[in-house]
A and B are shown apart, each in its own frame.
Chain A
Amino acid sequence: MVRFRSELVILISFLLTLTVIINAFLHKKQFYPSIVYLTKSNSSMAVIYLQAFVLTLLVGKLMNKIFFGQLRAIELEHLFERSWYAITETCLAFTVFRDDFSPRFVTMFTLLLFLKCFHWLAEDRVEYMERSPNITLLFHSRIVGLMALLMLLDLHFVNLAYAHTMAKGASVQLVFGFEYAILFVNILSTMTKYLLHTIDLQNENPWENKGIFILYSDLILGFIRVLLYLTFMSLMFKIHTFPLFAIRPMYLSLRSFKKSLNDVILSRRAIRNLNIMYPDVTPEQLSQYPDTICIICREEMTAQNGDNSQQIKKLPCDHIFHKSCLRSWFQRQQTCPTCRTSILRPPAPQQQANQPQQPPQQQQQPETEPATPLNNRIPTNPNFFINNNRNNIGSIPSDFFANMPGFAAPPLPPFAFMPPPLPPLNLNGLSDQDLNQMEGNERHNVEARIHCLRNISTLLNASMLQMQQYMNICAASSHLENLTQTKTSIENDLKFINIPEVTNKPAKESDETVTSSTNVKQVEEEDESDAIRRRRLQLFEAKSSSQN
């Protein structure tokens, strides 16, 4: 029905044009006057405009047949959606350039819109390459032909606009020049994608660097696009008026540039994390896993040493994936796909301590933790180590000093560093490569090593200091013992003459605890304590005489 009606419209427009032209010739009889007559008559011009429109559509259909064949539903949908925006923007542009409004101008805009449509379609088609399992030779030749044609046309129009602007100064041609330049950038990006997809299709193995290439080409072309729009905006603002119609595409290109910049940053971070923080899985280790299907791509993981395309990485949560699959996931989410443990937070120190008790497959990989460079871990959880240090070193002496009257605990040097992480217990389990990795010869490894040595020397100094203090205390304690004994005897004496404050004092010796507990008992045991007191006095006198 629709088809029939469109054919009818085409037929009617052809007939109308024919009648208009024949009519003009019948009236004027000669070529030149009839042309003049045609262009002067509004009604015949209207018919001719309609005819031009119909012809444009027909040419579009022909190009579509040549380069695309059947359009897919989603392509049509995109086409209509984008055309509406483009038409709105064109109308806005008309309001800006109402002084230059002429049939020629309208023709130029129609042509621009026409070419834009094909750019969009080419973009969609290239995207479709990723979705379809079978890409035919016809597809390739069509898309290459289309892209080459569009490229040439864009270049031609840019050139034309440039020549026009140079010859006659800034005019509407400036707008067209910029529009075609941007279209040219678009077709360049489509072409890069096409080339990348084609290379990928030729390869037997998945090409893991494709994603990176796409990211970077997006970034560069996005940057060029943004630059073009900014220049266009400033130029237009200077010589004409504010180009309202260019705001939406400019905003879109800015946004996509920001997104691709963000993508590149995230992807770089993900790659860095992958390379630094997580160990590769070797074939022997892989054989210990019951399930060797990478859950991201649902394909079997086969570890081959030295083969980059199929590298397997293991996360701290003991889940394994293809490196390339993990990388693309980490661009979106910094979590383990299986258990959603955040990968940006390194495992807590307690987990490290537990590691030897984990299942046997774990023990095969003692390099898991130490493979992490030291300076990577230092900033993550420094408090744990500092607190631990203070408690371990500080606890013993502080109790010790508390029992010693007259001795204040000397201030301990603050340990604002962590002790060096212990190397794995079983070095036999490590290959030479792993050991090399642990040792390393890059700047940060060397820095970490020097840092460790400094820490050790500080720790040694601290223990020297403590040993010295301990020796001092030991020397003092023999003298101190005498003093305490004197003190208790005096207390006993005081108690004997019944001074209440002293009797209520907590006793140091076991026999005195009894005396102070009840008064009744005190009376009963007075004789006994008296005897002890006397013995003590004798002892004290003997000692003091020997000291003197």
Chain B
Amino acid sequence: MAGSALRRLMAEFKQLTQNPPEGIVAGPISEDNFFEWESLITGPEGTPFEDGVFVANLSFPNDYPLSPPSMKFVSEIFHPNIYPDGRVCISILHPPGDDPTGYESSSERWSPVQSIEKILISVVSMLAEPNDESPANVDAAKMYREDRSKFNDIARKSVRKSLGL
């Protein structure tokens, strides 16, 4: 019998393919390695990211689900909570032990109750409502706060880029 992390990832993959959440596709990149996933996220409607399809890679630790995976956008995306190199900074991906931002309550952090689906849904809602309180990308947060129209322009450009237009 395979390791518990692998079995859980398989179970989640099965669940995600059977009842896929709207606007989200995710699965392992290769059949040989269930610990590296690729996900496609459509930008939520009514936001400047609308219609965009963003690619992000999820990489799972060996002790998943006891430790959270890490998520990194491959598509270029300008967003207050995404580091310029694509790493996603949301509380659900932080283990309760360490607190990089110093304000998150432990209730919104990682725990085995969370799942890949919940992470991706949180990321979609993060796209819709950026949190400029604890920015990973300071420039994006500043622009989001002070010059919303410019921010929206850049977001729309990234949408076009993500579609290869």
Chain A positions within 8 Å of B18 at CB level: none
Given A207-B1, A340-B106, A298 and B113 contact (CB-CB distance below 8 Å): no
Q: Which chain A residue lies CB-closest to B2?
A: A133
Q: By DSSP majority rule, is chain A's interface helix, strand, loop, or mixed?
A: loop
Nearest CB of chain A from residue B107's CB, rounded to whole Å: 6
On whether the beta carbons of A200 and B1 are closer than 8 Å, the reply is yes
Chain B positions within 8 Å of A132 at CB level: 6, 32-34
Interface residues of B in 1-27 (CB under 8 A from A): 1-8, 10-12, 15
Nearest CB of chain A from residue B160's CB, rounded to whole Å: 30
Q: B62's contact among A130, A203, A207, A338, by CB below 8 Å, is which?
A: A130
Given A298-B12, A328-B63, A333-B96, A130 and B3 contact (CB-CB distance below 8 Å): yes
Q: B65's contact among A127, A131, A203, A296, by CB below 8 Å, is which?
A: A296
Chain A positions within 8 Å of B65 at CB level: 296-297
On whether the beta carbons of A131 and B6 are closer than 8 Å, the reply is yes
On whether the beta carbons of A130 and B12 are closer than 8 Å, the reply is no
Chain B positions within 8 Å of A133 at CB level: 2, 6, 10, 31-32, 34
Given A297-B8, A298-B12, A337 and B112 contact (CB-CB distance below 8 Å): yes
B111 within 8 A of A: yes
On whether the beta carbons of A206 and B32 are closer than 8 Å, the reply is no
A299 within 8 A of B: yes
B35 within 8 A of A: yes
Q: How long is the Cα–Cα vector from A134 to B3 in the complex, in angstroms?
A: 12
Chain B positions within 8 Å of A338 at CB level: 111, 113
Q: How long is the Cα–Cα vector from A201 to B7 in the complex, in angstroms?
A: 12
Chain B positions within 8 Å of A200 at CB level: 1-3
Chain B positions within 8 Å of A203 at CB level: 1
Q: How long is the Cα–Cα vector from A298 to B2 in the complex, in angstroms?
A: 14
A325 within 8 A of B: yes
On whether the beta carbons of B62 and A329 are closer than 8 Å, the reply is no
Q: How long is the Cα–Cα vector from A127 to B35 in the complex, in angstroms?
A: 12
Q: How long is the Cα–Cα vector from A133 to B8 in the complex, in angstroms?
A: 12
Chain B positions within 8 Å of A204 at CB level: 1
Nearest CB of chain B from residue A325's CB, rounded to whole Å: 7
A295 within 8 A of B: yes
Q: How long is the Cα–Cα vector from A143 to B69 in the complex, in angstroms?
A: 28
Q: Which of B97, B113, B115 has the most CB of A within 10 A?
A: B113
Q: By DSSP majority rule, is chain B's interface helix, strand, loop, or mixed?
A: loop
Q: How long is the Cα–Cα vector from A130 to B11 in the complex, in angstroms?
A: 16
Interface residues of A in 310-356 (CB under 8 A from B): 325, 328-329, 332-333, 335, 337-338, 340
B66 within 8 A of A: yes
Chain A positions within 8 Å of B112 at CB level: 295-296, 325, 329, 337
Q: How long is the Cα–Cα vector from A11 to B107 in the complex, in angstroms?
A: 62
Q: B111's contact among A131, A206, A297, A337, by CB below 8 Å, is which?
A: A337
Nearest CB of chain B from residue A336's CB, rounded to whole Å: 9
On whether the beta carbons of B62 and A131 are closer than 8 Å, the reply is yes
Interface string of B115-156 (1 = CB under 8 A from A): 100000000000000000000000000000000000000000
Chain A positions within 8 Å of B4 at CB level: 206, 297, 325, 328
Q: Which chain B residue lies CB-closest to A207?
A: B1
Q: Which of B2, B67, B96 has the most CB of A within 10 A?
A: B2
Q: How many residues of B are counted as interface, with CB atoms below 8 angstroms from the partner's CB atoms?
A: 31
On whether the beta carbons of A201 and B34 are closer than 8 Å, the reply is no
Given A132-B33, A200-B3, A325-B4, A295 and B66 contact (CB-CB distance below 8 Å): no
Q: B66's contact among A206, A299, A332, by CB below 8 Å, is which?
A: A332
Nearest CB of chain A from residue B39's CB, rounded to whole Å: 18
A205 within 8 A of B: yes
On whether the beta carbons of B11 and A299 are closer than 8 Å, the reply is yes
Given A206-B1, A332-B66, A337-B113, A130 and B107 contact (CB-CB distance below 8 Å): no
On whether the beta carbons of B96 and A130 are closer than 8 Å, the reply is no
Chain A positions within 8 Å of B95 at CB level: 332
Q: How long is the Cα–Cα vector from A298 to B8 in the complex, in angstroms?
A: 6
Chain B positions within 8 Å of A299 at CB level: 7-8, 11
Q: How long is the Cα–Cα vector from A203 to B7 in the complex, in angstroms?
A: 14
Q: Which chain B residue lies CB-closest to A202?
A: B1
Chain B positions within 8 Å of A296 at CB level: 8, 65-66, 112
Q: A205's contact among B1, B3, B96, B107, by CB below 8 Å, is which?
A: B1
On whether the beta carbons of B11 and A201 are closer than 8 Å, the reply is no
Q: How long is the Cα–Cα vector from A328 to B65 in the complex, in angstroms?
A: 10
Q: A131's contact among B11, B35, B115, by CB below 8 Å, is which?
A: B35
Interface residues of A in 281-325 (CB under 8 A from B): 295-299, 325
Q: How long is the Cα–Cα vector from A302 to B107 in the complex, in angstroms?
A: 29
Q: Which chain A residue lies CB-closest to B31?
A: A133
Q: Which chain B residue lies CB-closest to A206?
A: B1
Interface string of B63-94 (1 = CB under 8 A from A): 10111000000000000000000000000000
Nearest CB of chain A from residue B85's CB, rounded to whole Å: 16
Q: How long is the Cα–Cα vector from A332 to B61 in the complex, in angstroms?
A: 14
Chain B positions within 8 Å of A325 at CB level: 4, 112
Q: How long is the Cα–Cα vector from A203 to B1 in the complex, in angstroms?
A: 5
Nearest CB of chain A from residue B81's CB, rounded to whole Å: 23
On whether the beta carbons of B66 and A130 are closer than 8 Å, the reply is no
Q: Which chain B residue lies CB-closest to A72?
A: B33
Nearest CB of chain A from residue B2's CB, rounded to whole Å: 6
Chain A positions within 8 Å of B5 at CB level: 130-131
Q: Which of B1, B34, B106, B115 has the most CB of A within 10 A?
A: B1
Chain A positions within 8 Å of B31 at CB level: 133
Interface string of A515-535 (1 = CB under 8 A from B): 000000000000000000000
Interface string of B31-70 (1 = CB under 8 A from A): 1111100000000000000000000000000110111000
Chain B positions within 8 Å of A335 at CB level: 96, 111
Q: A-side interface residues toward B, CB under 8 Å? A: 72, 127-128, 130-134, 197, 200-201, 203-207, 295-299, 325, 328-329, 332-333, 335, 337-338, 340
Q: Which 10 A-B pairs have the closest CB atoms?
A: A298-B11, A130-B3, A296-B112, A337-B112, A131-B35, A337-B111, A298-B8, A203-B1, A295-B113, A297-B8
6 contacts between A and B (CB under 8 A): A131-B3, A131-B5, A132-B33, A207-B1, A297-B7, A329-B66
